Structures are given as structure tokens and as C-alpha cells.
């Protein structure tokens, strides 16, 4: 049986918002009047990317690697979590071809921060910036996103074998 020389993974994350800032997003502390609530630093974008790359390689998910029941993960830096997932991906013989991500937030506006977020994600993963796509959508003032009660992110990751055309065994 011939296996494909690429795989696709999908990651999603949602966190509740509460008053106070800053908002951790894309590995950056964004000046904002709300912050995401979570066991770690609650960076929805980095969590979605982590799940996307792990899922593409069938390596589990962020909750398995960093359970919220483990006190060691309290306040944990999501960039560290993403780097750990990327190391697991590399150990399994895969490399990231590209990421395509969406942040769902009524506020703050993402465009002024987008390039810095792309650069930060690329730096964490050892990618070129043009391998990291990022866009944003508002909630159109509807539902938890639109009412600024929640923030979410999704990511699709394309991975390829690290050594060429043959998938890892």
C-alpha cells in the first residue's frame, strides 16, 4: 500500500474572555482590555496550531501532551508547548510545509498585529514567514465571539516527510 507523501491536520481552540489584559495571541502579549481564560496562557492561535500539527502526524493532541489536570501546566507558555509539539513532529519524521490559520475575534483588530504574529509563529517553528498564513474574522456582533465573551482560532497544517518523498515508517 502506497501512503501519501503529505498529511493535513486541523486544529481548533476556543477560550472564554474576561476583563483584564493583556491578551496572549500568536505568541505575543497584545494590549487589550480582555484576556483569555485558561489553564495555560490561553493563546488560542498557538493551541490551534499545536493541535493541527499533532493531528496531521497522528501524534495525539495538546490535551494529551499538556493536560490541564497537571499543575506543571498552570500558566504554561503556549510557545513552549508548540515547540515541544514541533519537536515530536520532527522526531516522527515530518516537517511542516505550511499553516493556514484563522482567528475569530470581535476585538482586538488583528490586522495591526498580523505580521508580528506570523513572524513569531515562524520563529517558534523554524519556518519562513511565507509558510504561515493568518487571517481574522469578527463575530459580526453575534454569539460569544461577537459579544466578546470568547475568542477562537483554527489552523490547517500541511506536513510532508522530512527526508523527501517517502512517508515515515
Q: Is the pTM of this model over 0.75?
A: yes
Rounded to the nearest 5 degrees, what angle is found at the Cα of 153, between the Cα atoms of 148 and 138?
45
Note whether residue 114 is domain-resident: yes
Note whether residue 166 is domain-resident: no
**What pLDDT score does 166 carry?**
65
**What pLDDT score does 167 carry?**
67
Note whether residue 51 is domain-resident: yes
Torsion region of 102: left, alpha or beta (phi above 0 gives left; psi -120 to 50 gives alpha) = beta
Instruction: Compute and round to an integer the Cα radius of gyration of the chain.
Output: 16
pLDDT tens-place string over residues 87-144: 999 999 999 999 999 999 999 999 999 999 999 999 999 999 999 999 999 999 999 9
Q: Which CATH number goes with the domain that contains 45?
A: 3.30.1330.50
Note whether residue 14 is domain-resident: yes
Q: How many CB atoms lie within 10 A of CB 156?
A: 19
Q: Which residue has the higher pLDDT, 29 or 3?
A: 29
Domain, as residue range, for 78: 7-161
> What would the grid cell of residue 26 be?
500568536
pLDDT tens-place string over residues 19-52: 999 999 999 999 999 999 999 999 999 999 999 9
Torsion region of 58: left, alpha or beta (phi above 0 gives left; psi -120 to 50 gives alpha) = left
148: buried, middle or exposed (CB in 10 Å: 19+, 13-18, 0-12)? middle
**What pLDDT score does 5 carry?**
86
Count of structural domains, the chain: 1
Amino acid at each position: 500500500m502506497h501512503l501519501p507523501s503529505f498529511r493535513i491536520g486541523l486544529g481548533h481552540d476556543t477560550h472564554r474572555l474576561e476583563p483584564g489584559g493583556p491578551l496572549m495571541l500568536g505568541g505575543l502579549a497584545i494590549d487589550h482590555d480582555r484576556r483569555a481564560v485558561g489553564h495555560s496562557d490561553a493563546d488560542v492561535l498557538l493551541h490551534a496550531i499545536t493541535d493541527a500539527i499533532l493531528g496531521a502526524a497522528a501524534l495525539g493532541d495538546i490535551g494529551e501532551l499538556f493536560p490541564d489536570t497537571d499543575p506543571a501546566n498552570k500558566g504554561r507558555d503556549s510557545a513552549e508547548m508548540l515547540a515541544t509539539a514541533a519537536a515530536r513532529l520532527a522526531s516522527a519524521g515530518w516537517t511542516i510545509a505550511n499553516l493556514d490559520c484563522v482567528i475569530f475575534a470581535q476585538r482586538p483588530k488583528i490586522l495591526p498585529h498580523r505580521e508580528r504574529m506570523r513572524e513569531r509563529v515562524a520563529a517558534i517553528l523554524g519556518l519562513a514567514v511565507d509558510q504561515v498564513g493568518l487571517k481574522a474574522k469578527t463575530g459580526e456582533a453575534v454569539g460569544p465571539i461577537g459579544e466578546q465573551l470568547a475568542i477562537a482560532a483554527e489552523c490547517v497544517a500541511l506536513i510532508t516527510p522530512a527526508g523527501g518523498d517517502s512517508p515515515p515508517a
